[in-house]
Amino acid sequence: MKDLVAVILAAGQGSRMYSGLPKVLHSVAGQPMLDHVLESIEALEPERIIVVTGFMSEKVREHCGKRAVCVNQDRRLGTAHAVRQAIPHLNKFKGDVLVTVGDTPLIQTETLKELIKRRRAHQVAATVLTTELDNPTGYGRVVRNRDGTVRKIVEEKDTNVYEAAIKEINTGIYVFDCQKMLEALRRVGNKNAQKEYYLTDTIEILGRLNDEVEAMVADDPTEIIGVNSRGDLARAEAFLRRRIAAAVMEQGVTVIDPATTYIDKQVQIGRDSVIQPFTILQGRCKIGEACEIGPHAHVRDSVIGSGSNFRYCTIEEAEVGDNVSVGPYANIRPGTRVGSDARIGTFVEVTRSSVGDSTDILHLSYIGDAEIGNRASLGTGSVTVNYDGKRKLPTKIGDDVFLGTNTKLVAPVEVVAGTRVAHDEILTGKIGSVSPSASGTSKTKARAARKRR
């Protein structure tokens, strides 16, 4: 959107979090609350995003990186005082200023866009996002004029009995005409119960300046849940999770129980895949069609083909093909690539390796720094000796290799395509090829290799 600047208030310590971390850096659904708010705003493509930091400002600034300009509020003297810190960046700006808070991780781009559109369409000085709560205790109340425009917002501690009974509350999210906001900001004082400069006072001030303010009522009060405690954090997490699960199901994915499934925002899942309980899909995942993921699967930042079947396993930063079966009790670690139709079985760990198509590693194995071809079969207890105490060394296993039970691969080692190795061999160097039928020769060669070590 053109002519738009966003200001995010993120100075609070969040004392009720009892934490060493600034409040906005606490995570919901796998990422800090501030990132959720930033994402929602970035989708609006504003000219600039300004984050007002305060508590542990360096940490928040560092976290924002290039995503926003940070301004520091040295002393916490209220929300109007916070917005004032952004004035150097707003002085000459003639568009809309979207003011939000950094602790409402569920806010959605569509709602913000609608709020901006309303202000522009109705040509009012500001539009306030409000919502209605059965129990408004703790929130600023929205006092309307007879014509429906907003007269003022009264902080909880300053309400009289009539105002306290109002159920429409302020969400802390506004769109202002920038120059009118600046005009009003200059006039905000601190004569109130808290001795603070309230941004909410700008609303009444605009009225006195003969400007109109409107309110837009958010349909879904959960969208503007503000997080002030770890309990709020858990509630926001639950709502966000429910929203993501609903979206995933709308795309043709079966989620057996959304209440015991944790799916991050950036996860994509293909049609007719089934997500079983106790499953966690984190970060940027892309999962194909007709997969069965879980129960008890944990996939992070991975790409999975179609028709694959993962249960009781962890898979991180890996790439897995079609029709692959993993688990139960397998650990696929970063830097692993598994081809199609492969099987990674029980008590098998694979790291920094590639496993070819139709290859089996089924029992009690540890494979690190290996490159394994297609149609290979690694017996029970296959272990790469890939670390000599100093360096990680490579293992190479060709196509159609058959390794018997309890094979130790002392890297660097290469097993030539088609080789058949008997059980209990220790392999190192280059292990020769024979036809699969001539397994006796293979054993001899393998033993020779063993003696060489």
Active site (catalytic) residues = 363
448 binds its own copies (CB under 8 A): no
> Which region among 51-59, 78-86, 91-99, 399-407 touches its own copies (by CB under 8 A)?
399-407
Choose between 186 and 453: whose C-beta lies nearer to its own copies.
453
Q: Between residue 9 and residue 48, which ones bind its own copies under the rule CB under 8 A?
A: 17-21, 26-27
Number of residues located near its own copies, criterion CB under 8 A: 69
> Which region among 31-39, 174-182, 185-193, 416-424 touches its own copies (by CB under 8 A)?
416-424
Choose between 81 and 375: whose C-beta lies nearer to its own copies.
375
200: left (phi over 0), alpha (psi -120 to 50) or beta: alpha
Q: Between residue 44 and residue 83, which ones bind its own copies under the rule CB under 8 A?
A: none
Write down the least CB distance from residue 426 to its own copies, Å.
Answer: 6
Which of 32, 102, 379, 418 binds its own copies (CB under 8 A)? It is: 379
- CA 403 to chain CA centroid, Å, is 41
> Which region among 62-70, 130-138, 211-219, 254-262 touches its own copies (by CB under 8 A)?
254-262
Q: At what angle do helices 178-187 and 201-208 cross, to 10 degrees?
A: 100
Residues 6+ apart with CB under 8 A from 317: 300, 301, 302, 333, 334, 335, 336
Which of 43, 69, 143, 426 binds its own copies (CB under 8 A)? It is: 426
Q: Between residue 321 and residue 340, which ones bind its own copies under the rule CB under 8 A?
A: 328-329, 331
Backbone angles phi, psi at 441, to 5 degrees: -55, -40
238 binds its own copies (CB under 8 A): yes
> Which region among 35-43, 83-91, 121-129, 255-263 touches its own copies (by CB under 8 A)?
255-263
- Beta carbons within 10 angstroms of residue 429's beta carbon: 13
Choose between 178 and 422: whose C-beta lies nearer to its own copies.
422
380 binds its own copies (CB under 8 A): yes
Q: At what angle do helices 57-64 and 33-42 cross, to 10 degrees?
A: 40
Choose between 155 and 322: whose C-beta lies nearer to its own copies.
322
Q: Between residue 172 and residue 231, which ones bind its own copies under the rule CB under 8 A?
A: 229-231
364 binds its own copies (CB under 8 A): yes
The answer to whether 219 touches 6, Cβ cutoff 8 Å, is: no
The answer to whether 426 touches 453, Cβ cutoff 8 Å, is: yes
| CA nearest to 377, candidates 413, 419, 330 | 419
Q: What are the DSSP calls for 37-91, one per residue?
A: HHHHHHTT--SEEEEEEBTBHHHHHHHHGGGSEEEE-SS---HHHHHHTTHHHHT
Between the alpha carbon of residue 86 and those of residues 6, 16, 154, the distances in Å are: 10, 26, 24
284 binds its own copies (CB under 8 A): no
Q: What are the DSSP calls for 218-241, one per residue?
A: -S-GGGG----SHHHHHHHHHHHH
Write down the least CB distance from residue 313 to its own copies, Å.
Answer: 9
- Beta carbons within 10 angstroms of residue 161's beta carbon: 6
Rg (CA), the chain: 30
Which of 79, 85, 314, 353 binds its own copies (CB under 8 A)? It is: 314
148 binds its own copies (CB under 8 A): no
Write down the least CB distance from residue 323 to its own copies, Å.
Answer: 16
Write down the least CB distance from residue 365 to its own copies, Å.
Answer: 8
Rounded CA-CA distance 354/256 in Å is: 32
Token readout for 262 is 């944790």
Give the footprint of its own copies on this chain (CB under 8 A).
Answer: 17-21, 26-27, 229-231, 233-234, 237-238, 241, 245-246, 249-260, 262, 271-272, 277-278, 280, 290, 295-296, 298, 312, 314, 328-329, 331, 346-347, 349, 363-364, 366, 377, 379-381, 383, 385, 387, 389, 402, 404-406, 408, 410, 420, 423-424, 426, 436
